[in-house]
Amino acid sequence: MVTLNFQVRDGANSNAVIGSDYQTSYNNNVHAEYNGKVEVNLLAGRSYNVLVTASSGGIYNSDYTRVYMKQVSGNLPVTGQSVDYGIVRYTSADGGSLTTGALVSFDATAPGNLTWSGNKFTLKANKTYELESYLAIYQSVGWVSGIFQIYDYTNNAALANGLYMSMQGNAALNPNANGLMRAIITPTSDIQVGIKFVSFSGAAYAPGLIGSANTVTTAAPNQCYFLAKQIGSSAFVNPWTLSGSNTYNTTGNVGIGTNSPAYTLDVNGTAKLVTTPAITTATSVLVKDPTTSQISEQPISFITGVAKFIRNTSQSSFTASTTLILNTTLANTISNYVSLNTGTGLITLQPGTYELNGSLGSGTPSNGGDSRAYGLFHNGTAYVGSGGVTESGPAGNYNSMPQNNANHVLTVAAGQTATISLKGQTVNNISTISDTGDYGATADAGRAWVIVRKYN
């Protein structure tokens, strides 16, 4: 009998054993191959070594040892990104007879990131996986064979078939004719895969799995496993496209310092811009939002033209809700957008953004006492903006004087027009407005007026 032991050791930690396996064989009269399989997590920049020893029998000069290392998880050079991986084993006491058609159970999982639930791996859509399984079976009453499958339980489809045999029950010699089951699959939607027991032949009873080798004492323990891992260049769905010296991504957002980017480029930290983002028009500036810190291009508002309308004569019988009848255009550089009806005092505005200022001018009291008129712009439905006041001046002045102006800002939508006028919202003790009064007859002093400014 020969038993070979295989150990993976941490050379940076006094050769501490981090994983091991062994194989035993009887009555070998010819050169035989002994295999050990050890799965461990290795750290970058650390030294490791493999030790092979014989605890029974011996290793001779004509024997030689080979070590194969296969990376199955982590930052694989082929992709540059972490890939999906999972492995499970059967390690309990040698099991009883399996049930035909049943899902095979495993009881030990190694580190991995694939979801393992209900003895099934969940494979993600549009990723390519290699599936592999090895099973050691027995039946204590005699030889037995069993057919197993790697099975897609989501779509009820076999992915690979395997035939496993055991020749001598639980006798001292129990060789297994066990080949690997393998499948490569790229599911188009998430699926669950497991190992299915299909049928058996030979013994009167179905086989069980060899676990800790407590019944079949000459068997190597813990050989039964099921492995799933991503492979090849399709190990992940790459959203980036390489075009010459350019790399681009037309979907989703990119985050730096954050795993939940909310913008096309979302940087959680300090960013350095050698060149500031380009401004696409001469009427825009870059603005930083104080809440989100997002930098965006925003338009600048500036005046593109002005219109000034006045009442160049007094308007009598001016009471509450009376419209100021503007009858003269002093200037209008935006006549394509702003026009005055001198019969009604209505100002018509074409699409655009406007600021309006206005005053009812100087007023004449009805009975020589204090007077007041409160002017507001009116859009045909309601008063809008803020008001301007015309009221009596200091003692000794006969006529009331304008104190401040009415104001209103509005935007007329594309395809629409708006009409607006200046009215006396509240009028007390005034008979006429737009009087020269104490101003005299110099230019338009004391007259009622409205100025319209158009913005880009």
Condensed to tens digits (0 to 9), the pLDDT of residues 215-256 reads: 777 777 888 999 999 885 444 456 677 777 788 888 788 889
Structural domain total, the chain: 4
pLDDT for 72:
59
- Residues 155-175, mean pLDDT to the nearest whole number: 76
If asked whether residues 257 and 351 sit together in one domain, one would say no
pLDDT in tens, 82-133: 678 999 999 999 888 999 999 999 999 887 889 999 999 999 988 889 999 9
Are 295 and 307 found together in one domain? no
Q: Give the pLDDT of residue 2.
A: 80
What's the pLDDT at 409?
93
129 and 166 both lie in a single domain: yes
Q: Which of 238, 265, 280 finishes a domain?
A: 238
pLDDT at 395: 43
Any idea what the CATH number is for the domain that residue 407 is in?
Answer: 2.60.120.40
Shared-domain flag, residues 201 and 137: yes
Please tell me whether residues 118 and 189 are part of one structural domain. Answer: yes
Q: What is the pLDDT of residue 329?
A: 94
- pLDDT beyond 60 at 393: no
Q: Which domain does 87 fall in, by range?
A: 79-238
Q: What is the 3-state secondary structure (H, E, C) of the chain?
A: CEEEEEEEEECCCCCEEEEEEEEEECCCCCCCCCCCCCCCCCCCCCCEEEEEEEEECCCCCCCCCCCCCCCCCCECCCCCCECCEEEEECCCCCCCCCCCCCECCCCEECCCCCCEECCEEEECCCCCEEEEEECCEECCCCCEEEEEEEEECCCCEEEEEEEEEECCCCCCCCCEEECCEEEEECCCCCEEEEEEEEEEEECCCCCEECCCCCCCCCCCCCCCEEEEEECCCCCCCCCCEEECCEEECCCCCEEECCCCCCCCEEECCCCCCCCCCCCCCCCEEEEECCCCCCEEEEECCCEEEEEEEEECCCEECCCCCCECCCCEEEEECCCCCEEECCCCCCEEECCEEEEEEEECCCEEECCCCCCEEEEEEECCCCEEEEEEEEEECCCCCCCEEECCCEEEEEEECCCCCEEEEEEEEEEECEEEECCCHHHCCCCCCCCEEEEEEEEC
Indicate if 278 and 408 belong to the same structural domain. Answer: no
Please indicate, yes or no, whether residues 389 and 418 belong to a single structural domain of this protein: yes
Asked if residue 428 is part of any domain, the answer here is yes
